[in-house]
Structure 1
């Protein structure tokens, strides 16, 4: 092997192209799918004046009810500073409020407002036609199959995510 010749390896190299067989192929494909879906969902939210990071917090609040900020950060994969900015945005827009937590003077729970619930419902209505376009290339039953596979991949039966 000369100094100018590329080093050959038996392990395929990640290329981020369809059909890539490298060990990174699945992760790269999931990243690209996330970017695509996030762009489509972002378009649905744009007319409502919020972003996906705002909707992620509203989803947790609708699901869990009032939630302390550290739990919001964990549930949305955000950090402490990031979740504070999102909650600040939601409060400024009248979509959520911070309330004191009885028994803990430092903790603040975030609660969705009636206006936040209205916007949450409007976001789902706005997303419907875009989701249909997102999965338009899939055949009958495949959107449900994709959802099932991604759910099992994300939430394995053993509880390890």
Structure 2
């Protein structure tokens, strides 16, 4: 079975090498940047005994307050079973608790505990020097510029968040 795709003079294949003109290049570079940042943040979290998936949930809980599990799954890009495992881990560690949602007997809201807040703060302290390594090769002002560009890319002002 072959695709009905017009074959134009393709001179380049998608890579994530600097300077690649492929239409996939931006996504591939973002993926590589994510892997690099995730490796550094994993290193920061390891001594605290949690993984990035746990910290992602803590970020949502600090930002939004008590959050139902289905919304945690959506906010972290996880599936229902995955988010349940993460919340189970956080509960076992005393970092979060599930509470009943008034008016909905089936739903449970997840809330960060004081211990979770302490760990959240400790993670930021641990990550600071490692995060500085990520941007060490940048010129003055480039880190702020990169942050601004990625923020505008990830959160376009004219796009409704519900359409993503």
Instruction: Name the TM-score class by shorter chain.
Output: over 0.9
Q: TM-score, normalised by structure 2?
A: 0.91
Q: 1: distance between equivalents of 2:32 and 2:12?
A: 19
Q: After TM superposition, what 4+ stretches of structure 1 lie above 6 angstroms from structure 2?
A: none
Contact 1:11 1:22 in 2 (8 A): no
- Name the TM-score, length of structure 1 as normaliser: 0.93
1:3 is aligned to none
Q: Deviations over 1:44-95 (max 9, x none)?
A: 0000000111111001101111000001011111110110010001001110
What is the total number of aligned residue pairs between the two structures?
155
Aligned-partner SS, 1:153: helix
Q: Which runs of 5+ in 1 are unaligned?
A: 1-6
Which whole-Å CA distance do the structure 2 matches of 1:8 and 1:102 have between them? 59
Shift of 1:159: 2.1
1:90 matched to which residue of 2? Answer: 90
The aligned counterpart of 2:69 is: 69
SS in 2 for 1:111: strand
1:146 paired with 2:146, answer: yes
1:8 offset after TM fit, Å? Answer: 8.0
Unaligned runs of 5+ residues in structure 2 are: 1-6
Over aligned residue pairs, what C-alpha RMSD do you find? 1.3
